């Protein structure tokens, strides 16, 4: 009995040694890319020890890697395979132009986006489904329609914003700019997308410290979703730490708000004033597709609005 056991052990040890030789610094199953810079990983598991601890702060982690390795670098992870990060405008433009057709999002990204913002939106699909979701959103981005909807939202929100800044300056109150731009972006996008007044941003600077259900829902969904991209065991770890239940509760709350707005808008036949009215001009769109599309617009637009505001102020400060 000892001889077969020893033979099996030696065979397994030999196979393990060969696997280590084949994948000395990258995840098993991925191809070696010595032509690309990036952090050196460990045998068979790649860069899991370097990336996983930062899964809740991936933007900062990627920024640190970029400072060290440049605008093109790579790393490997279990459940993700090889990730190649690019940060050059012309490369990004090329990839965005061909997104969903030539460049695949990959199974991990699709799994995360299908959970939220939804499988029927542009983020949670690719190929022909991605093209279909893009066609559905086209009425929103027609220049005149887009200008009218966004302008109407800004006309209502900018006076509140001005009063907020004036009151903060008069009272000498310092406030968290990240919190401010987050609430401003949510207010603009909710108004432009579904004509919803969230009241997360008021003329009182104290509003930034107030808890708000919509803001809490958005924060929970963003935080948990972003943490999934570089956590191959997110389905397991979320059950253990309670994140799964919090995610489902927040998603259900948001879905309920958007679905009610869709039903109410259809009942009143009010088809003017926001992105929802532009989408409702196409009667063939089903309610689940409409819901996922609206939430995709809401969250993608919120991030872009926040970033645009931050970069605008940065450039103005340099003048």
Tokens of 181: 């731009």
Q: What is the mean pLDDT of residues 149-178?
A: 89
State residue 85's pLDDT score.
92
**Cα 102 to Cα 172: distance, rounded to the nearest angstrom:** 53
pLDDT tier, 271 (very low <50, low <70, confident <90, very high otherwise)? low
Percent of the chain with pLDDT over 70: 97
In tens, the pLDDT along 240-263 reads: 999 999 999 999 999 998 899 888
281 pLDDT higher than 60: yes
pLDDT, averaged across the chain:
86
More confident call, 140 vs 121: 121
The pTM for the full model equals 0.76
More confident call, 317 vs 156: 156
The DSSP call for residue 117 is I
Contact 54, 60 (CB under 8 A): yes
State residue 273's pLDDT score.
67
The number of CA neighbours under 13 Å toward the Cβ of 237 is: 10
Residue with token string 């108004």? 191
1 pLDDT higher than 60: no
Count of beta carbons in the 10 Å neighbourhood of residue 29: 12
* Greatest Cα pair distance in the chain: 86
In tens, the pLDDT along 57-88 reads: 888 899 999 999 999 999 999 878 899 999 88
More confident call, 140 vs 259: 259
Q: Is the peptide bond before 121 cis (omega within 30 degrees of 0)?
A: no
98 pLDDT higher than 80: no
Q: What is the mean pLDDT of residues 128-152?
A: 80
State residue 269's pLDDT score.
66
Contact 190, 214 (CB under 8 A): yes
SS (H, E, C) 207-255: HHHCCCHHHHHHHHHHHHHHHHCCCCCHHHHHHHHCHHHHHHHHHHHHH
């Amino acid at each position: 009995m000892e001889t077969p056991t020893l033979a099996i052990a030696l065979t397994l040890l030999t196979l393990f040694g060969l696997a280590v030789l084949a994948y000395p610094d990258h995840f098993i199953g991925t191809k070696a890319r010595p032509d690309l810079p990036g952090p050196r990983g460990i045998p068979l598991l790649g860069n899991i020890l370097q990336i996983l601890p930062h899964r809740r702060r991936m933007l900062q982690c990627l920024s640190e890697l970029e400072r060290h390795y440049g605008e093109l670098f790579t790393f490997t992870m279990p459940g993700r395979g090889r990730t190649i990060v690019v940060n050059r405008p012309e490369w990004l433009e090329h990839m965005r132009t061909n997104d969903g057709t030539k460049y695949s999002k990959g199974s991990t990204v699709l799994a995360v986006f299908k959970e939220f913002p939804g499988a029927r939106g542009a983020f949670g699909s690719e190929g022909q489904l991605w093209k279909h979701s893009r066609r559905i959103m086209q009425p929103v981005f027609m220049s005149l329609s887009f200008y009218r909807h966004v302008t109407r939202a800004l006309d209502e929100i900018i006076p509140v914003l001005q009063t907020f800044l004036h009151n903060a300056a008069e009272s000498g109150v310092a406030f968290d700019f990240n919190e401010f731009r987050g609430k401003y972006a949510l207010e603009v996008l909710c108004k432009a997308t579904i004509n919803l007044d969230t009241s997360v941003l008021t003329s009182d600077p104290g509003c930034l410290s107030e808890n708000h259900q919509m803001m809490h829902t958005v924060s929970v969904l963003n935080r948990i979703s972003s943490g999934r991209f570089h956590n191959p065991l997110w389905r397991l770890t979320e059950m253990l730490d309670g994140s799964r239940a919090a995610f489902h509760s927040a998603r259900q709350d948001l879905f309920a708000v958007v679905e009610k707005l869709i039903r109410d808008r259809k009942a009143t036949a009010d088809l003017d004033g926001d992105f929802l009215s532009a989408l409702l001009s196409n009667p063939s769109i089903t309610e689940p597709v409409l819901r996922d599309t609206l939430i995709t617009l809401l969250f993608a637009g919120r991030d872009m609005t926040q970033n645009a505001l931050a970069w605008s102020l940065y450039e103005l400060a340099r003048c």
